[in-house]
Chain A
Amino acid sequence: MNHKIYIQDVTLRDGMHAIRHQYSKEQIQNIALALDAAKVDAIEISHGDGLMGGSFNYGFGAHTDWEWLEGIKDRLTHAKLTTLLLPGIGTIHDLKKARDLGVESVRIATHCTEADISQQHIEAAKKMGMDVGGFLMMAHMNEPKKLAEQAKLMESYGADCVYVTDSAGALMMDGVADRIKAFKDVLDDKTEVGIHCHHNLSLGVANTIVAMQHGANRLDASLAGMGAGAGNCPLEVLIAVMKKMGVESNSDLYKLMDAADDLIRPIQVRPVRVDRETLSLGYAGVYSSFLIHSEKAAEKYGLESRAILEELGKRKMVGGQEDMIIDVALDMKSKKEA
C-alpha cells in the first residue's frame, strides 16, 4: 500500500528546546498559522519533552502546554493539531486535556528498547479516537531487526504509524535505510512508517530522503531546523529537495522559506547549527536535548561541554536523564580538582 506523503512540523515542539521552552503564546499562534497557510499536514505543539515536560529537569516553560494549545485548533484550515507524550513524564490524564483542546493526533515516545511502556497510552489514545504514532527514540542504540520488533509491539497496541526517531542525530544513511527496511518487513501494510531526524551530522535532509525512498511517508521537519541540538531536518530545505525530485506534497515552498527566515531565525537564542557542541552530540550519540543543559553545566562547573557530552555518551544515558548531566559534571569537576 502506498501511503501519501505527510509532513509533520515540529518547530513548536522539538523547537522548544532551542528556545528553552520559552515561546510566547503569540509566537506559537503566528508560527502555527504560517505553517497552516503553507499547507503543512500536521503541527506538533507541546513542551520539548512532551506534555507536562515543564520541570527543573527539562526546563520550565513560559506557559503550560494547555496555554500553548488553547485556541489554535479553531484557526487551522488544513493542518492537524498534534502533540507528543513521553510515558514516565506525561499521563493519559494529560492526553485527555490535550484532546479537549482540539489535539487530534499524538506521538507516544519511548526509548528504542522500551516500547512496552507505551501500551496503556497508545490504547487510551486510540480509544479517544486519536491518530497515534509510536515514536522510538534514540533509534541508533538498537539494531534494525530489534528496533522493528519494538515497532511491531507499538503496532499491536494500535499505533497507526511507527517512527524511526534519530534523537541523537547519530544515524547515517545506511543506518536509516536498514531500519526503515526492517520496519517494512514486519509491519502490516496499513501501518505507516515515519522518520524523525536531527541534523547533528548534517544529514537531516539526506536521512529523511533516504527514509522516504525506503517507504517512510510521514516525514518530520521544522522551520529553519528549529529543534534540539543542531536542529531537525529543515522543513523548507526538505520541501525544496522533494520538489526537485518530483515528489509531491501539499506544502508551499516559498511560504515556508519566508516563515523560516522571518519568524524563526530572529528568535533563536542559540544559533541552531552544526558547531563544535552540536556535532559532538551526533558524534557521541547523545540525546540532542542534552545540549543546552550541558552547556549550562559546563559554565557552572568550569568544564568543556564537549567533554560532558562525550562522557554522557560513554555512560549510555538515554533521553530524559538530564539530571545525570549534573552528576557527570560533578564527577568531572572533582576529578579535575583531584
Chain B
Amino acid sequence: MLSIRLKYERIKMEKTKVAIIGSGNIGTDLMIKIIRTSTALEMSVFVGIDPASDGLARAKRMGVKTTHKGISGLVEMPEWKDIKIIFDATSAKAHHYNYSFVEKYPDKRIIDLTPAAIGPYLVPPVNFDDSINVKNVNMVTCGGQATIPMVAAVSKVAKVHYGEIVASIASKSAGPGTRANIDEFTETTSLAIEKVGGADKGKAIIVLNPAEPPMVMRDTVFTLSEQADREAIRASIHAMEKEVQKYVPGYTLHQEVQFDDIPEDQPVFIEGLGWRHGLKTTILLQVRGAGHYLPEYAGNLDIMTSAALATGERLVKEALVQE
C-alpha cells in the first residue's frame, strides 16, 4: 500500500522536461519563469547560438544544461530524448529551420514565440481548446497576447467589424530581434486580431517610448462593433481581465471602459471594409511584468512568456503531451 502510494506521488511529482531555443530576452525570461514558478515543467536544456550571450551565461549560473550550437547541438545531447516540449524564442526565419528538426519526432511539441506562425495562433484564454492536438502552436506577439483577449471579449457580446490595437513599449524592453522585425509584429498581430479576436478587419500599431524611468507597457484596444448592450460588453471585458490575470497578475484595465457612438450618418471609412458605423469601445490596459529577467516595465516580455508557459503547463496538465 505504502509503496504504491509512493510510486503514485513520484509519478505525480515528475515534471515534463522542456527545452528553450533562443537566448535573448524572451528565452531567458521564460527560463527563469519555468525554474521559479512551474510545477509541471522542468527546464532541461537552454539553447543559444552565441556562446557569449547573457542568456546562456545566466542559464549556466542557474544550473541549466546549455548548448551554443542551436537546434543541431540540442538533438545530439543525451537530454533530447526525454524532452517533450520545445519553446522556440528565436526568429521567424530560424523557427522554420528549428521546426524542420522537431517535426520528425512524434513525441515532441513546439510552442513558437516567433512571428513565423507555421502553426495556428494561440491566445490561451481565447482559443486553447482549438489547438490541443496541434504539434506546433504560435503565440502571436506580445501586443497580440495583451490585446486579443479583449477583442474576443467584445466579440462574445457583439459582432466586431474592426479591431485596432496600439501597443506602447519601453525602448529598453525591445531587443534587437524585435527592432529588426517591426513589420512582422504589425502584420502578425493584425491577422491574429481577425483570426482569434473575431474581428472582420484587424489593425495593429506599435510605438517604442524611450522615457526614463522606462514606462510600463500600455496597450489600447479599439473595437467597432454592432450596437449592443454596453453593460454586457463591460462585464465581458472585466471577466476577461480576470482570465488573463490568472497567468499574468500585472494585467489590468487602467481606466474604465469607454464607449462612443459612431452614428449611421457619420460613419468612418475603414480600409478593407468601407464605411462603417456602430459602437466604438475603447479599452485602456496596462501590463506590469513580474520582473523576472527584465524589470517590471517589460510587461511585453512577461505577457509573451507567461502565455507560452501557461500553454505548456496546460498541455501537460490535460495530459496532451505524450509520455
Contacts and interface: CB of A to CB of B under 8 A. Distances in A.
Contacts of A117: 179, 182, 208
Contact of A113 (B171, B176, B268, B271): B171
A249 interface: no
Nearest to B162: A56
A321 B180 contact: no
A120 B183 contact: yes
Contacts of A61: 269
B210 A113 contact: yes
Contact of A111 (B208, B258, B268): B208
Contacts of A93: 183, 187
B210 A318 contact: yes
A327 B210 contact: no
A139 B179 CA distance: 20
The bracket for how many chain A residues form the interface is 35 or more
B186 A321 contact: no
B168 interface: yes
A88 B205 contact: yes
Contacts, number: 109
A92 B183 contact: yes
A321 B269 contact: no
B210 A114 contact: yes
A138 to B, nearest CB: 10
Interface in B188-224: 203, 205-211, 215, 218, 220, 222, 224
Given A62-B269, A113-B171, A88 B255 contact: no
Nearest to B223: A56
Interface string B128-144: 00000000000000000
Contacts of B222: 55-57
A63 interface: yes
B218 A60 contact: no
Nearest to B286: A327
Nearest to A47: B271
B209 A318 contact: yes
A57 B164 contact: yes
B268 A88 contact: no
Interface in B67-92: none
B270 interface: yes
A88 B186 contact: yes
A92 B184 CA distance: 10
B282 interface: yes
Given A88-B182, A91-B183, A318-B209, A63 B269 contact: yes
A326 B206 CA distance: 17
A324 B218 contact: yes
The bracket for how many chain B residues form the interface is 35 or more
Interface in A298-338: 315-324, 326-327, 330-331
Given A57-B166, A60-B270, A323 B220 contact: yes
B186 A323 contact: no
B254 A327 contact: yes
Contact of A316 (B211, B218, B282, B284): B211
B208 A60 contact: no
Interface in B252-301: 254-256, 258, 268-271, 280, 282, 284
A320 B183 contact: no
Contacts of A52: 203, 271
A200 to B, nearest CB: 21
B181 interface: yes
A323 to B, nearest CB: 4
B210 A60 contact: no
Contact of A120 (B171, B182, B280, B284): B182
A95 to B, nearest CB: 10
A147 B186 CA distance: 26
A80 B60 CA distance: 57
Interface in A98-125: 111, 113-114, 116-117, 119-121
A148 B220 CA distance: 33
Nearest to B256: A330
A88 B208 contact: yes
Given A56-B164, A316-B209, A318-B207, A91 B186 contact: yes
B18 to A, nearest CB: 32
Contacts of A175: none
Contacts of B268: 56, 60
B204 to A, nearest CB: 9
Contacts of B211: 315-316, 318
A225 interface: no
Contacts of A186: none
A89 interface: yes
A119 B182 CA distance: 10
A326 B187 contact: no
B284 A327 contact: yes
Top-3 shortest CB links A-B: A323-B220, A316-B211, A56-B222
21 contacts: A52-B203, A54-B269, A56-B164, A56-B222, A56-B224, A64-B269, A88-B182, A89-B186, A91-B187, A92-B183, A111-B208, A113-B171, A114-B179, A116-B179, A315-B211, A316-B215, A318-B210, A324-B220, A326-B220, A326-B258, A330-B258
